[in-house]
Amino acid sequence: MNRAATSWSLVVGTTLGLAGCAMLRPAEHCPTPPGSAPVLLALRPDSVALAAVLEERATVTLVGCGFGDGPVQLSMGAARIGPLTPTDAGTRVRFVVPAAIASGGEAPPMTTPAGTYDVVLTTARGPSRARTLTVY
């Protein structure tokens, strides 16, 4: 049996204050209609050490669906990352957390500070909802 075809992802959600979870196969049960914006379900991990970021060895995997198979862009706060290529039938994107973030205008990039960052994945069909990445 092909393990890739039978792997499962755990999706946890909260509705009306009640926690619930469902087991979803990565590409089979996308909670969005085809052609709609991508859905970003989780960041793995959702927090990384600042030391690992500064050494450019903090890798984060975005998990969701509807990422497609073409190039995607990622924003992490003011940082723009990409183009990136989705894997696992458009359900995963990996990126290295940048050690520096553009300061804006003509100012030079600044070292990525500790804090929380909204992460948004954008495809040709639009942006996902944001998930939070913590750099500590």
Question: 51-86: per-residue pLDDT in tens?
Answer: 999 999 999 999 999 999 899 999 999 899 999 999
Position 83 scores a pLDDT of: 96
Sole residue written with tokens 């946890």: 12
Position 26 scores a pLDDT of: 46
Share of the chain above pLDDT 90, in %: 65
Residue 15 lies in a domain: no
Residue 77 lies in a domain: yes
Position 105 scores a pLDDT of: 78
pTM, to two decimals = 0.76
pLDDT tier for residue 32 given thresholds of 50, 70 and 90: low
Cβ proximity of 93 and 38 under 8 Å: no
Instruction: Find the domain containing 43 and state its range.
Output: 32-135
Residue 27 lies in a domain: no
Cβ proximity of 125 and 36 under 8 Å: yes
CATH number at residue 129: 2.60.40.10
Residue 37 lies in a domain: yes
Position 104 scores a pLDDT of: 75
Residue 107 lies in a domain: yes
Q: Of the given ranges (32-36, 60-64, 95-99, 129-133), which has the lowest mean pLDDT?
A: 32-36
What's the angle, vertex CA 9, arms to CA 127 and CA 90, rounded to 5? 40
Number of folded domains that form the chain: 1
Residue 116 lies in a domain: yes
Residue 108 lies in a domain: yes
> Does a cis peptide bond (omega within 30 degrees of 0) precede residue 31?
no
| Residue 120 pLDDT exceeds 90 | yes
Cβ proximity of 104 and 83 under 8 Å: no
Cβ proximity of 89 and 80 under 8 Å: no
| Residue 13 pLDDT exceeds 70 | no
Residue 22 lies in a domain: no
